Structure 1
C-alpha cells in the first residue's frame, strides 16, 4: 500500500454539501485544514492510526456558516449591545456559524482606522474567527490614506449609511468618494439604504399624531424610503463603475432594482437577513412590539413572501443575521418613541437553523443554495473564499454536522446570546447542527460546549476585484 500523508481527523459517512456539489464523502483534516475529500471508507486503519474519527452517518456535512452582518458590543445613540466577542462567537458556533464579520463603526469625531484597529484586537477573545467591515461617515483629507491602510491590512469592505443623520449618515459626495477609492483598492462599499428625508418626514408626522411608539414602527420607515435610496446608490455605483453591496434588503422592489442593475453589468449584490425572511409586521401587534424594532422594520406578510421568492430565484446573494444583542429592558425604556430606540434583533445563533427550517424544509430551497447564501457567498463577498465557506483541500476545517430531521422548539432560555429574548420564541424548527468543528477542533457537540478556549483569529480579507461573484 502506498504511503499516505498523515491525518489528524476523519469525518466519516456524511453527505458533504458545498454550494456547487454534494455527495457522500469522508473529510480528511490535517493541521486545522481540509486535506482532501475521499471516497467513503477508503481510508482505514492502519493507514490512519492515531487520527480522531467522527461518525457523520445520517448527517449533512456543511462548511461552517459565515455571517456577513454582526454587530458585537455596538453603541448606537445611548445604547450599547450586551455581548462581547466571547459571548457572540459562543452563540455563533452553537448555531453552526464559524466566522462572523463585525462592524467597526466610529462615533462622532472618531477615526475609522483607529476604531477598526481597536475592534480587530478583540478577535482573539472569540471561539471562532472574525473579520471586519470598517465605516466612513465624513470625507476629509485623511480618509484616502486611511482607506489605503485599511485595505492593505485586510479590511476591504466599508459600511456606509444613508440614514441616521447626525450620527452615522454619510452624504452623497462622501459615498461617491469612498466608492471610487475602494474600487481602485480592491474593496467595496457595504451600504444601509433608507432615504433619511423620507423617514424623517414620516416620523415627524407620526409623532404629531401620537403614532411613534414601538407598535407603530412598521409605518415609520416605509418601503418607499428603501427603494428610493437603493436607486440613488445604484446610480452612484454605476457612474463610477464601483461594486456595491446592499445590507438587509427587506423588500422585493429593492432586490429587483439590484437585479436589474446587475443585468446592466453593475457589480451590485443583495443581502437579506433572517428576520426579514421569516417574521412579519404582525409582531408589532403583540405584547412586546419593542422586541421587534429593527431597521428596516419587519414588513407585511405579502412583502415577506415576495422577498422569499427572490431567494429562490437566486437574486439574493447572502443571508446574514444583522445580530444586535439588546435586551428587553433596553428596548422597553424608550418603547414610546422608536426614534430613540436601539434598533436590531439578536440572531447570530438562530440564523442558520431558522433559515434551514423555513426555506429548505418548508419551502424546498435546495440545500446547496442554502450553503451558497449562508456560507460560500458571504465568504466570497468578504474576501475570505476559499479559506472559508467551502469544504475543499486547503480550506479551514470549519465543519458542521447537520441533522436535517431533528426538531427543536426555540426558547431564549436554551440559547447562548447575551439577551433575555429571541424573536423566534416558541418557533418549531426542523434541522440543526449537532457537532461543530472550528479549524478541525470539535467545539460543540449535542448542545454541549466541548472546547471553551478562545482561539479566534482576525482574518485579513483578500482584495475583491475579480474574485467577486458574477
Structure 2
C-alpha cells in the first residue's frame, strides 16, 4: 500500500512525501513513490503523523468501583483519537499476590485490545521475593513498575530506596505517584470532622505542596544511590516543577509526565454544578500551575504528555456527590489528547518537535519501544494517523469511552482524524471505527 501526497510530520518539520507500507512495516519514504500492484491511498491536503503512545492508562481497573472502560472500549477510544499503543497501569491485586499476578490477569483482558499494548508492573508489598519477581517482569519485556506514596499500598522511604536499588541493578524504570499520604489523611480527617465534604474540598485535601514535598523527597532518595530512571507521573503543580527544574539544572536525571487535564483545566471546575466530573488525583490546580507547566514544557523539563485515563460513568461518580471521599477518582481522556494537541500544532501553540517528542517519540524512547514505534521511519511499525484540517468542536457525544462524558467537551479543534492504521491495517476510516476482530498485540520493551 502507498499513502500518497500526504504531509508527513517527521523530526521538527512537515514534508510532502509518500509512504510505502509492506507487511505492517514502513518500507520506503520518498517523493512520488511508484510501485506496481500496490493499493494507492490519496491523502492530498491531509497530515500523516505517527500513532500516538499513551504510557498512562487505567483500563479495566477496579478501585472498589470498576471502571467502565475495558480493553475493548478503551482501545476503540484510543484508536479513534489517534493513539495506537498504550502502556497500562494495572490496579492492585489481592494482598500478598506476586508481581506477576496482575500482569497475567491483564494479559488475558488485553487480548481484546484493538491497539498495541504493554503494562507497568505494580509493587504492593516489598518482601523477600520482590527482586526475583522484578527480574521475571523484565524477562517478559516489562521494563517498568509503579509504586505509590499514597493509597492502600503506599511505600515508605526505606521501601522506596530499596526498590530504586533493585531497579538500578535491573535497569528498570520506577514510575511513582508522588503525593504525601500523611498530609492527605490529615486533611481528609479534618474536613470529615468539620463536615466539609462537598466537592470543592477534594482539591483542598491535596494542596500543591503535597505533591511538591513528595517529588523533592523522591529526587533526593534517587540521588542518594545515583538512580537515574525515576519517572514522575501526572505532575500538576508549579511547586513540583520548581523542584524538578532545580534537579535538572544540577544534572540529575528524572523523567517527568504531565497530563492533558493539567495543561488546560483549572480548579474553578470544582465550583460548577457538574463538579463531580472533575474529581481526579492529583486534583485540578490553579492558572499559575497551568502557566508553569506550559513554561516547563517549552524548556524541555517535561518529557511526556499522557492521560491517566480512568473512566467512570457519571452515575458512579455521583456516589461522591454529598461526600467527596466516596467519589471514584479519575477522568476519561485517551481519545481527546491527540485531537487537542494536534490542533495546537496547527494553531502554532506547539511546535512539530514538541508534539512528536511529547506524544510519540519520548514515550517510545523512555519505555523501550523505539525499535518498533515512535516515528515515521523505514523499518518501524506502520502505526499512522491521518488528520484532516477542519474546524470543529470536541463533542462528548461522539466519543467512544463508556464514561459518556468528557472534561474537554466544547474545546475548539482545528482538525479531525480521518484514518488510523495499526501496523498497516486501517482500523479507523473517515473517523469511524471499523468493526474488526482485535489486532492489538503485546509489545515487549527493554
Report the counterpart of residue 195 of structure 1 in structure 2.
180
1:368 matched residue in structure 2:
353
Residue from 438, 446, 451 that aligns with 2:430: 446
Mapped partners of 1:276, 1:221: distance in 2: 15
Q: Does 1:18 align with 2:7?
A: no
Query: 2:120 — aligned with what?
Result: 133
TM-score by length of 1: 0.91
The alignment status of 1:271 with 2:263, answered yes or no, reads no
Q: Distance in 1 between matches of 2:213 and 2:130?
A: 27
How far residue 72 of structure 1 moved from its aligned partner, in angstroms, is: 0.4
Separation of aligned partners in 2, 1:202 and 1:73: 30
Show CA shifts across 1:400-453 (max 9, x none): 1122x3222222221111112111122222223211111001111112123522
Within the candidate set 352, 366, 380, 1:395 is matched to 380
* Aligned equivalents of 2:100, 2:247: Cα separation in 1: 31
Q: 2:210 aligns with which of 198, 222, 225?
A: 225
> TM-score, normalising length from structure 2?
0.96
Aligned counterpart in structure 2 of residue 150 of structure 1, from 107, 114, 137: 137
Which residue of structure 2 lines up, in the alignment, with residue 235 of structure 1? 220
- Do structure 1's residue 206 and structure 2's residue 191 form an aligned pair? yes
Once residues 331 and 215 of structure 1 are traced to their aligned partners in structure 2, the CA distance between those partners, rounded to angstroms, is 15
Q: What's the CA shift for 1:362?
A: 4.9
Partner of 1:96: 82
CA distance in 2, matches of 1:355, 1:22: 16
- Which residue of 89, 98, 101 maps to 1:111? 98
1:65–1:98 contact (8 Å) kept in structure 2: yes
- Structure 2 CA distance for partners of 1:25 and 1:361, relative to 1, 3 Å: closer
Residue 61 of structure 1 corresponds to which residue in structure 2? Answer: 48
Match of 1:385 among 370, 388, 395: 370
Cα deviation 1:13-63 (Å, max 9, x = unaligned)? 122113445422111111001112112x1x22xxx2221222222222110
Alpha-carbon separation, structure 1, partners of 2:346 and 2:289: 21
Structure 1 range deviating more: 182-191 or 106-115: 106-115
Paired residues of 2:12 and 2:352 also in contact (CA < 8 A): no
In structure 2, what is the Cα distance between the partners aligned to 1:161 and 1:343? Answer: 15
Worse-superposed segment, 49-58 or 289-298: 49-58
Report the Cα distance in structure 2 between the residues aligned to 1:335 and 1:175, rounded to whole angstroms: 35
| Corresponding residue SS for 1:290 | helix
Query: What's the CA shift for 1:266?
Result: 2.3
Structure 1 residue 87 and structure 2 residue 77: aligned? no
Q: What secondary structure sits across from 1:436 in the alignment?
A: strand
Q: How far is the alpha carbon of 1:210 from its aligned partner?
A: 2.4
1:3 corresponding residue in structure 2 = none
Mapped to 2, the partners of 1:88 and 1:354 lie a distance apart of 18
- SS of equivalent residue, structure 2 residue 135: helix
Unaligned 5+ segments in structure 1 are 1-8, 463-470
Of the three residues 236, 248, 273, the one matched with 2:234 is: 248
Distance 1:253 1:36, change over 3 A: farther
1:123 maps to which of 98, 110, 119: 110
Moved more, 94-103 or 296-305: 296-305
Q: Tell me the equivalent position of 1:461.
A: 445
Report if aligned partners of 1:61, 1:402 keep a CA contact under 8 Å in 2. yes
Question: Is structure 2 residue 397 aligned with structure 1 residue 410?
Answer: no
Assess if the C-alpha contact under 8 Å between 1:215 and 1:290 holds in 2. Answer: no
Contact 2:420–2:426 (CA<8 Å) still a contact in 1? Answer: yes
Q: Any idea what SS the aligned residue of 2:221 has?
A: helix
Counterpart of 2:22 in structure 1 is: 30
TM-align CA RMSD: 1.5
Counterpart check, 1:312 vs 2:298: yes
Return 5+ residue gaps in structure 2 as ranges: none
Alignment of 1:151-170 (within 5 A): 151-164=138-151, 167-170=152-155
Q: Which residue, 321, 326, 335 being the options, matches 1:340? A: 326
SS in 1 for 2:443: coil
CA positional deviation for 1:311: 1.5
Given that residues 436 and 445 in structure 1 are in contact (C-alpha distance below 8 angstroms), is that contact kept between their aligned partners in structure 2? yes
Query: Displacement of 1:199 after TM fit?
Result: 1.4
Give CA-to-partner distance per residue, 1:372-418, whole Å, 9 cap, x none. 10011111111111311111111100001122x32222222211111
Secondary structure of 1:225's counterpart equals helix
SS in 2 for 1:158: strand
Contact 1:129–1:459 (CA under 8 A) maintained in structure 2: yes
Contact 1:89–1:128 at 8 Å: present in 2 too?
yes
Q: Distance in 1 between matches of 2:99 and 2:184?
A: 26
Q: Is the 8 A contact 1:34 1:395 kept in 2?
A: yes
* Contact 1:383–1:461, Cα closer than 8 Å, also in 2: yes
Task: Specify the SS of the correspondent of 1:283.
Answer: helix
